[in-house]
Amino acid sequence: MIALPVLWLFGASGVGKTTVTWELFVQLAKEGISTGYVDIDQLGMCYAPPTPHHWALEPADDPGRHRLKARTLDQVVANFWDAGARCVVVPGVTDPVRGVDTDLVPHAALTTCRLRADPAELGRRLAARGRPTVDDFAEEFAYADALDRAFATEPCVDTTGLTVAQVVDLVRARTSWPDLATPAVRPHRTREVPDPTPGEILWLCGPAAVGKSTVGWQVYQQARRAGANAAFVDLDQIGFHRPAPADDPGNHQLKAANLAAAWRTFRASGAACLITVGPLDRPEDLAAYTAALPAATITLCRLQASRRVLGDRVARRGRGLTPTRGLAGDELIGQPQARLREIAEQAARIVNALDGVGDLRVDTDDRPADEIATEILSRTGWSSLLR
């Protein structure tokens, strides 16, 4: 069986995995190749409650949750195929000894390529992310060194001193990916949606700059501190697909299928609840999620903000001032002022269009994210569930 071509770019923090993979995704879409993008880290955010000494304990039989991510990726790749993708790009870390366990991803015709950078360059890039001293980079340096030793003969691109475009060119040259000369055969599906997995899912929705990712992450942290075995997913990061279908411009059918795949794996791994964040541009798009997860209880929390606040947040993101650095697809960065004003106005219109949709509405104007998260947990009744 010939499965869907998948390119997995891996490497240590700071080598450029997300930036390079996103540029490749955009490039392929511009070339007319129907392409999917999924952040592998989003398929492994499933953690037991923290202990006094550890925020994220790893399971003994799957340190790094690499096998969990690979199993979920397999179903996600099949969903991309169903959505019409001809290939999928994936950035993320891998097991520093075994690499990617290809047996766990049978629906993918997998190509891997390692990105690396010199230690001095890594240090500069990590410092630019806000870490104060070189001592804070010890874990990243050790992981980078382990990859250099374990995968010395694998396809590799050194990103030191190169532009993103130059790295993309080298990756494509050294991997000859994607090779679309041989048509892929549809992967055999062992199951179909709707998903029978029960459980509690809290979805924070709203337009751009309303605070979904920032507040959602705070909800997730508070849930875990309260003792929940919780999971977290950013819908965009598991459902980028270009070109999107004309009848589903937000890729909600794909996102819903991928969310169901992630929740099924998380639930089997012990998760009691899931916090997810993502846009909901039209009320009718909600049906895709309820259809894909009919056995789960989905609580929809609609975030909103005033035109003034939306305009300010959009302008800040346009200047690169965002609390969610490292996530792909923030196309507000670098946009001209006129375009940013259009985006802010569109966000305000979406707020109005969603009026009355969901289980609760929460205002985010001029409020800290942790305060908003506490309110959400209280008003949804999740606070009592987490005790």
Q: What is the pLDDT along the chain (387 residues), one digit of tens a residue?
A: 558 999 999 999 999 999 999 999 999 999 999 999 999 999 999 987 776 555 555 666 787 889 999 999 999 999 999 999 999 999 998 888 888 888 999 999 999 999 999 999 999 998 887 755 555 688 889 999 999 998 988 899 999 999 999 999 999 999 999 988 766 666 555 555 578 889 999 999 999 999 999 999 999 999 999 989 999 999 999 999 999 999 899 999 999 999 999 999 999 999 999 999 999 988 899 999 999 999 999 999 999 999 999 999 999 999 887 766 668 888 888 899 999 999 999 999 999 999 999 999 999 999 999 999 999 999 998 877 665
Where on the phi/psi map is residue 140: left (φ > 0), alpha (ψ -120 to 50), or beta?
Answer: alpha
The predicted pLDDT at position 138 comes to 86
Q: Which of 220, 201, 215 is nearest to 260 (CA)?
A: 201
Q: Which of 95, 76, 96 is nearest to 4 (CA)?
A: 76
SS3 280: coil
Distance CA 295, CA 194 (A): 9
CA triple 218-223-229, angle to 5 deg: 130
Distance CA 107, CA 90 (A): 14
258 and 79 in contact (C-beta within 8 Å)?
yes
292 and 195 in contact (C-beta within 8 Å)?
yes
The predicted pLDDT at position 100 comes to 84
Distance CA 122, CA 113 (A): 18
Q: Hey, how many other C-beta atoms are within 10 angstroms of the C-beta on 241?
A: 25
